Amino acid sequence: MVIDDEPVIREMLVRHLEAQGWRVFEADNGDAGLALVGTHRPSAVLCDLLMPGTNGFNVCRAIRARRDELGAITIIVTTGSSFPADRQNALEAGADHYLVKPVSPKEIAAILSAVPARPCDCPSAVAPPRAACGEADSTRVRFWGVRGSIATPGPDTVRYGGNTTCVEVRVGEEIIVLDAGTGIRLLGEQLRREFAGQPVKVHLLLTHTHWDHIQGLPFFGPIHDRGSSVTVLGYEGARQSLLKTLSSQMDSTFFPVGLDQLAGGLSVRELHELEFRAGRVPVQAIFTHHPGVTLAYRLHTPAGGVVFMPDTEVLPYPRPRPAAATPAQAAPDTEDFNSYKNQLLAEFARGAELFICDAQYTAEEYERRVGWGHSCIDDTVQLALQAQAKHLILFHHDPTHEDAAIDAMVEHARQIVARAGSSLRVDAAAEGLELVLHRKARPSPLSAAPPA
């Protein structure tokens, strides 16, 4: 059984397994995969971690929870994540093996050689879910928190700011907030002044639940205001649900008011699809290369695409092969795999009016931090160029970077763009920066569905 949402990877695995004599069932999401596992009881399951619907961690848990019914199924996680925390969480969830892509067919064959085959039935086709359409008015984007990892207020971060991740997007009357780092406290104060005691309706999209993306939530004013409505949208984590994670940080050990004691109307919606709506605004999501379950979002507004990719390690762009080198025959090599993964991100951000992207490290810093889950500025710029984005915003500033260091990074990024002969505009995110995007003639390409 192969469960992977990336067609190229899934087809490669299926092809090699069938060549070894295995009968293979396939699914492109966790829910469909679990259904097929229950029907066919395969000898082994090859499962990605980051997928729509049920993620790979919970696929492992679900299979192990039905051990008496399903028998001893060998679970092989095949993932692009080399992060130690993801490996540990997957093995604790029930995986027998953890292989990092690009995966060698010989490695899989060696594992499966010890697995006895079982009789099974015919596979069934799986169609990915489609999602939502909406339309609204003008689009404004304002930055309330731009720092990564930990808040760093002080005299050396005055111009760019020291608060952690929070971005406000206004699409007509819709208020969409991207992440809930410490910057969300200031946004809450502004909304209270603006609405002057009237109820506020907010959709809060969380990319993931690391501290610098959620710790401001308890201090977001509207969740304490009777009549206000805050809908939190996000995905289940590697170890527990979104609701449990948010509730835990407001346990009485850490905070005096529990999540269930709030005066405002806060609700948590755990997403299982990669296309949905925040109010009337169509949103797409994609998994990124960062520890745990982490996503980026693309908001389809009448003014064009707004892409928010705050935590991702853009994989190093490939260098030219030596003349004598020959490409691998059995599976893509590391450079080819990096190119493929970056192509997925580039297609996701294709033609975006605004591309807000992780650019935490200089090239020199990145050499010492490969595998930490954040990007080198050179690779971020190359990704934006590949995506043909209109305006790149360097984001998730390192806590050690003073204003002058960020100035230098912006200049370096602009030099890369100039050498490429591109019209890409590059700026660094700064607290208080507000950008206005003007309406486009064409509506969103997504189909209609009820709002969140």
Q: Give the pLDDT of residue 118.
A: 58
Distance CA(66)–CA(70), nearest Å, equals 6
**Per-residue pLDDT reduced to its tens digit, 254-303:** 888 888 888 778 999 999 999 999 999 999 999 999 999 999 999 999 99
**Per-residue pLDDT reduced to its tens digit, 94-108:** 999 999 998 888 889
Q: Specify the fold of 2-112.
A: Rossmann fold (3.40.50)
Lowest mean per-residue pLDDT among 59-68, 228-237, 238-247:
238-247
Q: Give the pLDDT of residue 27.
A: 94
Could you tell me what percentage of the chain is helix, strand and coil, using 3-state DSSP and rounding each to the nearest 5?
A: 30, 25, 45
Q: Is residue 191 within 8 Å of 223, Cβ to Cβ? A: no
Is 139-437 the same fold as 2-112? no
Distance CA(182)–CA(163), nearest Å, equals 5
Nearest to 144 by CA among 396, 397, 433: 433
Name the band, by pLDDT with cuts 50, 70 and 90, for residue 449: very low
Q: Give the pLDDT of residue 61.
A: 94
Q: Give the pLDDT of residue 442.
A: 54
Q: Is residue 238 within 8 Å of 86, Cβ to Cβ? A: yes
Distance CA(90)–CA(97), nearest Å, equals 9
Name the band, by pLDDT with cuts 50, 70 and 90, for residue 451: low
Statement: residue 450 has pLDDT above 80: no
Name the band, by pLDDT with cuts 50, 70 and 90, for residue 446: low
Q: Give the pLDDT of residue 279.
A: 93
Q: Give the pLDDT of residue 122.
A: 35
**Per-residue pLDDT reduced to its tens digit, 351-392:** 999 999 999 999 999 999 998 899 999 999 999 999 999 999
User: pTM for this structure?
Assistant: 0.78
- Higher pLDDT, residue 406 or 317: 406
Distance CA(82)–CA(370), nearest Å, equals 10
Q: What is the mean pLDDT of residues 225-232?
A: 94
Q: Give the pLDDT of residue 4.
A: 94
**Per-residue pLDDT reduced to its tens digit, 45-70:** 999 999 988 899 999 999 999 988 88
Statement: residue 434 has pLDDT above 70: yes
- Higher pLDDT, residue 261 or 232: 232
Q: Tell me the average pLDDT of the chain.
A: 88
The single-letter DSSP state of residue 221 is: G
Amino acid making up residue 433: L
- Per-residue burial over 302-326, b = 16 or more CB atoms within 10 Å of its CB, e = otherwise: bbbbbbbbbbbbbbbeeeeeeeeee
**Per-residue pLDDT reduced to its tens digit, 7-29:** 988 988 988 888 888 889 999 99
Distance CA(101)–CA(147), nearest Å, equals 30
Q: Give the pLDDT of residue 261.
A: 80
Name the band, by pLDDT with cuts 50, 70 and 90, for residue 135: very low
Annotated domain spans of the chain: 2-112, 139-437
| % of the chain with per-residue pLDDT over 90 | 69
Architecture of domain 139-437: 4-Layer Sandwich (3.60)
- Quick one: tokens of 374? 């954040």
Q: Give the pLDDT of residue 441.
A: 61
